[in-house]
């Protein structure tokens, strides 16, 4: 179900020359954004079969992730198996979706686990995403960060999640940020590049907005909120800020850029709020895995639990919906 059928292919972001006038004219009305964000969860309520349908959609948009220091080949193999069959077979039968071939959007791992994930997913259409460029801090030498990208691509990663140098944003050095991200994009080759802004470390929503624009000008296929390792990860005000930059960039260039919130999204109800916001701000075309992903490790378990409740009327124990 993560296959795209009867959809126009998004226009690939070819990037632009750095336009500092555009960057410096980009602002963010923090109070207005926060008011809008505070009202998002109260404007729309999705219930019963409609909620179940949206949760099934959400599964196809998950980058199922393990980024722990104690990751092993066996853990990654189990994660891949879960990604290929994210819903318990009996539950899928009860919901009548067993023939839809629902899978997650991607499996996201460290470079060392890319080959393991590629082998485990070889009989599926699920891509492997690798975090790269000195994740999560991004403070290793530039030549090593570029080499890491190339090694992950060589190992079979179809998607590369890069981290930007936050100091370039905090210092307002937009030329340095543009040059850095552009060099990462070139190293990715045909693999899709997701640019992680680490928004919790950028200080202001205006910085988030400007960093978003610069990364898109440099050719990012996706912009992503967080590594999941910061003290503050994905938030609704940050999401609203980034989505409006994506919309502005699309309206001015015709290029589609995807969005990936990551970190702290662990509940099904939160996923529904994000999907509603995407629909409102960008439209239905962004509700497919080529333009939207959740970066999450525990979200899938709660979605499966909510679907089980829809089916039986009772909540099952959390341990029944582990990652394998």
User: Which residues form the catalytic set?
Assistant: 161, 224, 260
Contact call for residues 250 and 244 (beta carbons, < 8 A): no
Q: How far apart are CA 40 and CA 157, in angstroms?
A: 35
Helices (H) and strands (E) in the chain, counts: 13, 8
Strand arrangement of the beta sheet that strand 62-65 belongs to: 258-260, 222-224, 192-196, 159-163, 128-131, 106-109, 62-65, 294-296
Q: Strand ranges (DSSP E) for the chain?
A: 62-65, 106-109, 128-131, 159-163, 192-196, 222-224, 258-260, 294-296
Q: How far apart are CA 228 and CA 130, in angstroms?
A: 14
Q: How far apart are CA 318 and CA 294, in angstroms?
A: 20
* Tally of CB atoms within 10 A around 53: 13
Q: Which distant-in-sequence residues (6+ apart) come within 8 Å of 68 by Cβ? A: none
Q: How far apart are CA 141 and CA 207, in angstroms?
A: 24
Contact call for residues 303 and 61 (beta carbons, < 8 A): no
Tokens of 294: 């959740």
């Amino acid at each position: 179900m993560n296959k795209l059928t009867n959809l126009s292919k998004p226009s690939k972001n070819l990037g632009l020359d750095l336009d500092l006038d555009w960057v410096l004219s980009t602002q963010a009305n923090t109070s207005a954004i926060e008011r809008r964000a505070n009202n998002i969860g109260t404007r729309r309520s999705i219930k019963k079969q409609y909620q179940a349908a949206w949760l099934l959609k959400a599964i196809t948009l998950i980058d199922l992730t393990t980024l722990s220091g104690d990751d092993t080949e066996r853990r990654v193999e189990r994660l891949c198996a879960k990604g290929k069959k994210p819903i318990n077979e009996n539950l899928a039968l009860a919901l009548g979706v067993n023939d839809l071939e629902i899978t997650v959007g991607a499996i996201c791992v460290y470079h060392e686990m890319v080959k393991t994930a590629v082998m485990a997913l070889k009989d599926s259409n699920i891509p492997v995403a690798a975090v790269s460029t000195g994740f999560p801090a991004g403070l290793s030498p530039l030549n090593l960060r570029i080499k890491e990208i190339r090694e992950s691509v060589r190992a079979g990663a179809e998607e590369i999640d890069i981290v930007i140098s936050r100091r370039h944003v905090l210092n307002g050095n937009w030329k340095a940020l543009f040059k850095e991200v552009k060099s990462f994009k070139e190293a990715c080759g045909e693999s899709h590049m997701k640019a992680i802004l680490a928004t919790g470390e950028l200080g202001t929503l205006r910085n988030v907005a400007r960093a978003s624009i610069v990364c898109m000008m440099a050719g990012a296929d996706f912009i992503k909120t967080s590594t999941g390792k910061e003290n503050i990860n994905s938030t609704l005000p940050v999401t609203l800020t980034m989505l409006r930059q994506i919309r502005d960039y699309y309206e001015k260039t015709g290029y589609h850029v995807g969005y990936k919130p990551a970190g702290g999204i662990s509940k099904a109800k939160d996923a529904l709020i994000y999907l509603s916001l995407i629909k409102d701000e960008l439209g239905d075309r962004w509700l497919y895995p080529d333009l939207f992903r959740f970066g999450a490790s525990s979200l899938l378990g709660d979605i499966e639990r909510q679907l089980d409740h829809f089916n039986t009327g009772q909540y099952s124990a959390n341990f029944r919906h582990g990652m394998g």
